[in-house]
Structure 1
Amino acid sequence: MRHALPALCLMIALPAAAEPRMSAAEFDAYTRGKTLYYADGAEPYGAEIYLPGRRVRWSFLDGECRDGEWYEAGGLICFVYEDRPDAQCWSFERRATGLIARFENDPAATELYEAAEQDEELLCLGPKVGV
Protein backbone atom coordinates (compact mmCIF):
# COMPACT_ATOMS: atom_id res chain seq x y z
CA MET A 1 0.00 0.00 0.00
CA ARG A 2 2.81 2.44 0.76
CA HIS A 3 4.07 1.99 -2.85
CA ALA A 4 0.62 2.73 -4.25
CA LEU A 5 0.39 6.18 -2.65
CA PRO A 6 3.43 7.68 -4.46
CA ALA A 7 2.20 6.20 -7.75
CA LEU A 8 -1.25 7.69 -7.18
CA CYS A 9 0.25 11.11 -6.37
CA LEU A 10 2.36 10.95 -9.51
CA MET A 11 -0.71 10.19 -11.63
CA ILE A 12 -2.62 13.11 -10.10
CA ALA A 13 0.30 15.49 -10.69
CA LEU A 14 0.54 14.69 -14.39
CA PRO A 15 -1.42 17.03 -16.64
CA ALA A 16 -4.28 15.57 -18.62
CA ALA A 17 -3.30 14.65 -22.14
CA ALA A 18 -4.17 17.41 -24.56
CA GLU A 19 -6.82 16.67 -27.12
CA PRO A 20 -5.53 16.67 -30.67
CA ARG A 21 -6.00 19.81 -32.71
CA MET A 22 -8.98 19.83 -35.00
CA SER A 23 -8.20 19.58 -38.69
CA ALA A 24 -9.73 22.07 -41.12
CA ALA A 25 -12.27 19.43 -42.21
CA GLU A 26 -13.26 18.69 -38.58
CA PHE A 27 -13.49 22.40 -37.76
CA ASP A 28 -15.65 23.07 -40.83
CA ALA A 29 -17.96 20.14 -40.09
CA TYR A 30 -18.38 21.23 -36.45
CA THR A 31 -18.90 24.96 -37.04
CA ARG A 32 -20.62 25.34 -40.44
CA GLY A 33 -24.06 26.91 -40.09
CA LYS A 34 -23.64 27.64 -36.37
CA THR A 35 -23.35 30.80 -34.32
CA LEU A 36 -20.94 30.10 -31.47
CA TYR A 37 -20.44 32.34 -28.47
CA TYR A 38 -17.01 32.36 -26.81
CA ALA A 39 -15.92 33.29 -23.30
CA ASP A 40 -12.56 34.21 -21.81
CA GLY A 41 -12.95 32.41 -18.50
CA ALA A 42 -16.26 33.59 -17.08
CA GLU A 43 -16.37 36.77 -19.19
CA PRO A 44 -18.17 36.91 -22.57
CA TYR A 45 -15.65 37.54 -25.34
CA GLY A 46 -17.51 37.45 -28.65
CA ALA A 47 -19.48 35.40 -31.15
CA GLU A 48 -18.94 34.14 -34.66
CA ILE A 49 -21.30 32.94 -37.35
CA TYR A 50 -19.78 30.22 -39.54
CA LEU A 51 -21.13 30.56 -43.05
CA PRO A 52 -20.74 28.33 -46.14
CA GLY A 53 -17.51 28.61 -48.08
CA ARG A 54 -15.41 29.17 -44.96
CA ARG A 55 -16.83 32.67 -44.53
CA VAL A 56 -17.41 34.10 -41.04
CA ARG A 57 -18.96 37.07 -39.29
CA TRP A 58 -17.41 38.08 -35.94
CA SER A 59 -18.68 40.39 -33.21
CA PHE A 60 -17.30 41.39 -29.82
CA LEU A 61 -21.01 41.58 -28.85
CA ASP A 62 -20.95 45.35 -29.23
CA GLY A 63 -23.31 45.54 -32.23
CA GLU A 64 -20.46 45.81 -34.73
CA CYS A 65 -19.75 42.84 -36.99
CA ARG A 66 -16.76 42.08 -39.17
CA ASP A 67 -16.96 39.79 -42.17
CA GLY A 68 -14.06 37.52 -42.93
CA GLU A 69 -12.96 34.08 -43.93
CA TRP A 70 -10.85 31.30 -42.53
CA TYR A 71 -8.30 28.90 -43.94
CA GLU A 72 -5.95 26.20 -42.69
CA ALA A 73 -2.22 26.92 -42.48
CA GLY A 74 0.29 24.61 -40.83
CA GLY A 75 -2.35 22.78 -38.80
CA LEU A 76 -3.91 26.03 -37.51
CA ILE A 77 -7.18 27.73 -38.39
CA CYS A 78 -6.39 31.27 -39.54
CA PHE A 79 -8.89 34.11 -39.87
CA VAL A 80 -8.69 37.32 -41.90
CA TYR A 81 -11.32 40.04 -41.64
CA GLU A 82 -12.33 42.97 -43.84
CA ASP A 83 -10.83 45.48 -41.39
CA ARG A 84 -7.87 43.33 -40.38
CA PRO A 85 -6.11 41.49 -43.21
CA ASP A 86 -3.27 40.13 -41.05
CA ALA A 87 -3.93 36.46 -40.25
CA GLN A 88 -5.04 35.56 -36.74
CA CYS A 89 -4.25 31.88 -36.27
CA TRP A 90 -5.83 29.65 -33.66
CA SER A 91 -5.66 26.00 -32.67
CA PHE A 92 -8.99 24.39 -31.82
CA GLU A 93 -9.67 21.36 -29.65
CA ARG A 94 -13.04 19.73 -29.30
CA ARG A 95 -13.98 18.70 -25.78
CA ALA A 96 -17.19 17.33 -24.32
CA THR A 97 -18.05 20.88 -23.21
CA GLY A 98 -17.36 22.42 -26.64
CA LEU A 99 -14.43 24.05 -28.39
CA ILE A 100 -11.30 25.44 -26.82
CA ALA A 101 -9.50 27.98 -28.99
CA ARG A 102 -5.91 29.08 -28.39
CA PHE A 103 -4.53 32.16 -30.10
CA GLU A 104 -1.29 30.90 -31.58
CA ASN A 105 0.07 34.29 -32.70
CA ASP A 106 0.65 34.82 -28.95
CA PRO A 107 -0.30 31.66 -27.00
CA ALA A 108 -0.01 33.45 -23.65
CA ALA A 109 -2.57 36.03 -24.74
CA THR A 110 -5.89 34.31 -25.24
CA GLU A 111 -7.62 31.00 -24.61
CA LEU A 112 -11.33 31.00 -25.37
CA TYR A 113 -14.03 28.52 -24.48
CA GLU A 114 -17.21 27.81 -26.40
CA ALA A 115 -19.89 29.14 -24.08
CA ALA A 116 -23.05 28.62 -26.12
CA GLU A 117 -24.52 27.93 -29.51
CA GLN A 118 -27.42 30.01 -30.78
CA ASP A 119 -29.64 29.63 -33.80
CA GLU A 120 -30.40 33.33 -33.98
CA GLU A 121 -28.43 35.93 -35.92
CA LEU A 122 -25.93 38.24 -34.29
CA LEU A 123 -27.00 41.80 -33.66
CA CYS A 124 -25.14 43.78 -36.33
CA LEU A 125 -26.11 47.43 -36.30
CA GLY A 126 -24.50 48.33 -39.61
CA PRO A 127 -21.99 51.00 -40.57
CA LYS A 128 -21.65 54.11 -38.47
CA VAL A 129 -22.83 57.25 -40.17
CA GLY A 130 -22.22 60.72 -38.87
CA VAL A 131 -23.24 64.28 -39.53
Structure 2
Amino acid sequence: MRLILTIPLLGLLALPGPAAAGEPLNAEQFDRYTQGRTLFYGFGGAMYGVERYLPGRRVIWSFLDGKCQEGSWYEDNGQICFLYQDRADPQCWSFELTPGGLTARFENDPAATELYEAEEIGEEMLCYGPDVGA
Protein backbone atom coordinates (compact mmCIF):
# COMPACT_ATOMS: atom_id res chain seq x y z
CA MET A 1 0.00 0.00 0.00
CA ARG A 2 1.14 3.53 -0.62
CA LEU A 3 0.05 6.35 1.61
CA ILE A 4 -0.02 10.00 0.57
CA LEU A 5 -0.35 12.57 3.32
CA THR A 6 -0.69 16.30 2.82
CA ILE A 7 1.25 18.57 5.14
CA PRO A 8 0.58 22.24 5.80
CA LEU A 9 3.60 24.45 5.22
CA LEU A 10 4.12 24.94 8.96
CA GLY A 11 4.26 21.15 9.36
CA LEU A 12 7.11 21.02 6.85
CA LEU A 13 9.02 23.71 8.69
CA ALA A 14 8.61 21.86 11.99
CA LEU A 15 10.23 18.67 10.74
CA PRO A 16 13.77 18.34 12.09
CA GLY A 17 16.83 17.43 10.09
CA PRO A 18 17.73 17.56 6.43
CA ALA A 19 14.98 15.34 4.98
CA ALA A 20 14.34 16.83 1.57
CA ALA A 21 11.80 15.78 -1.03
CA GLY A 22 12.34 12.13 -1.87
CA GLU A 23 14.28 11.28 1.30
CA PRO A 24 12.70 8.88 3.82
CA LEU A 25 11.66 10.37 7.16
CA ASN A 26 13.36 8.94 10.19
CA ALA A 27 11.53 8.09 13.42
CA GLU A 28 12.12 11.54 14.95
CA GLN A 29 10.70 13.35 11.91
CA PHE A 30 7.70 11.01 11.65
CA ASP A 31 6.98 11.37 15.38
CA ARG A 32 7.17 15.15 15.23
CA TYR A 33 4.63 15.30 12.38
CA THR A 34 2.15 12.74 13.72
CA GLN A 35 2.24 12.86 17.56
CA GLY A 36 -0.95 14.21 19.05
CA ARG A 37 -2.79 14.17 15.72
CA THR A 38 -5.66 12.10 14.39
CA LEU A 39 -5.31 11.55 10.66
CA PHE A 40 -8.11 10.37 8.38
CA TYR A 41 -7.03 8.45 5.28
CA GLY A 42 -8.71 7.97 1.94
CA PHE A 43 -8.31 5.51 -0.90
CA GLY A 44 -9.58 5.97 -4.43
CA GLY A 45 -11.68 8.98 -3.47
CA ALA A 46 -13.38 7.26 -0.50
CA MET A 47 -12.66 7.33 3.21
CA TYR A 48 -10.54 4.35 4.25
CA GLY A 49 -9.53 4.66 7.90
CA VAL A 50 -8.32 6.84 10.74
CA GLU A 51 -5.30 6.68 13.03
CA ARG A 52 -4.63 8.55 16.27
CA TYR A 53 -0.96 9.08 17.12
CA LEU A 54 -0.26 9.09 20.86
CA PRO A 55 2.84 9.80 22.96
CA GLY A 56 5.33 6.97 23.37
CA ARG A 57 4.92 5.86 19.72
CA ARG A 58 1.50 4.39 20.44
CA VAL A 59 -1.37 4.45 17.92
CA ILE A 60 -5.04 3.58 17.59
CA TRP A 61 -6.33 2.54 14.13
CA SER A 62 -9.88 2.09 12.83
CA PHE A 63 -11.36 1.29 9.42
CA LEU A 64 -14.09 3.82 10.35
CA ASP A 65 -16.33 1.02 11.62
CA GLY A 66 -16.01 1.86 15.33
CA LYS A 67 -13.69 -1.11 15.92
CA CYS A 68 -10.35 0.25 17.08
CA GLN A 69 -7.02 -1.52 17.29
CA GLU A 70 -4.31 -0.33 19.63
CA GLY A 71 -0.73 -0.60 18.52
CA SER A 72 2.72 0.91 18.50
CA TRP A 73 5.29 1.86 15.92
CA TYR A 74 9.07 1.72 15.61
CA GLU A 75 11.74 2.43 13.01
CA ASP A 76 13.38 -0.53 11.28
CA ASN A 77 15.88 -0.23 8.46
CA GLY A 78 14.57 3.17 7.34
CA GLN A 79 10.89 2.21 7.53
CA ILE A 80 8.20 3.00 10.10
CA CYS A 81 6.66 -0.30 11.24
CA PHE A 82 3.34 -0.69 13.07
CA LEU A 83 2.35 -3.58 15.34
CA TYR A 84 -1.35 -3.89 16.22
CA GLN A 85 -2.98 -5.89 19.00
CA ASP A 86 -4.61 -8.42 16.63
CA ARG A 87 -1.67 -8.94 14.23
CA ALA A 88 1.69 -10.56 14.88
CA ASP A 89 3.28 -9.27 11.67
CA PRO A 90 4.51 -5.67 11.42
CA GLN A 91 3.05 -3.31 8.80
CA CYS A 92 6.05 -1.32 7.52
CA TRP A 93 5.95 1.91 5.53
CA SER A 94 8.52 4.22 3.97
CA PHE A 95 7.49 7.87 4.54
CA GLU A 96 8.85 10.68 2.34
CA LEU A 97 8.30 14.39 1.85
CA THR A 98 7.28 15.21 -1.73
CA PRO A 99 6.20 18.44 -3.43
CA GLY A 100 2.58 17.30 -2.89
CA GLY A 101 3.02 16.45 0.80
CA LEU A 102 4.00 13.41 2.87
CA THR A 103 4.02 10.09 1.00
CA ALA A 104 4.26 6.61 2.47
CA ARG A 105 4.87 3.44 0.54
CA PHE A 106 3.81 0.10 2.06
CA GLU A 107 6.93 -2.03 2.57
CA ASN A 108 8.68 0.48 0.28
CA ASP A 109 6.95 -1.12 -2.76
CA PRO A 110 6.57 1.36 -5.66
CA ALA A 111 3.68 -0.70 -7.10
CA ALA A 112 1.68 -0.69 -3.85
CA THR A 113 -1.82 0.76 -3.30
CA GLU A 114 -2.01 4.45 -2.36
CA LEU A 115 -3.69 5.92 0.69
CA TYR A 116 -3.72 9.66 1.34
CA GLU A 117 -4.38 11.94 4.25
CA ALA A 118 -7.90 13.26 3.79
CA GLU A 119 -8.84 16.89 4.24
CA GLU A 120 -10.34 17.85 7.58
CA ILE A 121 -13.76 16.21 7.49
CA GLY A 122 -15.12 17.57 10.76
CA GLU A 123 -15.53 14.14 12.34
CA GLU A 124 -14.02 12.54 15.40
CA MET A 125 -12.51 9.09 15.66
CA LEU A 126 -15.11 6.73 17.12
CA CYS A 127 -14.14 3.64 19.09
CA TYR A 128 -16.97 1.50 20.44
CA GLY A 129 -16.56 -1.07 23.17
CA PRO A 130 -16.40 -4.80 22.40
CA ASP A 131 -19.59 -6.27 20.94
CA VAL A 132 -21.59 -3.03 21.13
CA GLY A 133 -25.05 -3.65 19.70
CA ALA A 134 -24.61 -7.43 19.72
Shorter-chain TM-score tier: 0.7 to 0.9
Which entry has the higher C-alpha Rg, 1 or 2? 1
Alignment of 1:51 onto 2:51: no
| Residue of structure 2 in register with 1:101 after alignment | 104
Q: What are the Cα deviations for residues 5-25 of structure 1, in whole angstroms up to 9, with x where unaligned?
A: xxxxxxxxxxxxx62111111
* Partner SS, residue 53 of structure 1: helix
1:73 aligned residue: 76
| Larger RCO (CA within 8 A; separation ≥ 6) | 2
Runs of 4+ in 1 over 6 A off after TM superposition: none
In angstroms, what is the RMSD of aligned CA positions? 2.4
User: Is 1:23 paired with 2:3?
Assistant: no
Query: How much identity, in percent, do the aligned residues show?
Result: 63
Q: TM-score, normalised by structure 1?
A: 0.75
Bigger strand fraction = 1
**Could you tell me the TM-score, scaled by structure 2's length?**
0.73
Q: Name the SS of the counterpart of 2:129 in structure 1.
A: coil
Unmatched 5+ residue regions in structure 2?
1-20
C-alpha contact 1:35 1:118 (8 A) present in aligned 2: no
**Gaps (5+ residues) in structure 1?**
1-17
Shift of 1:118: 7.2
Aligned to 1:122: 125
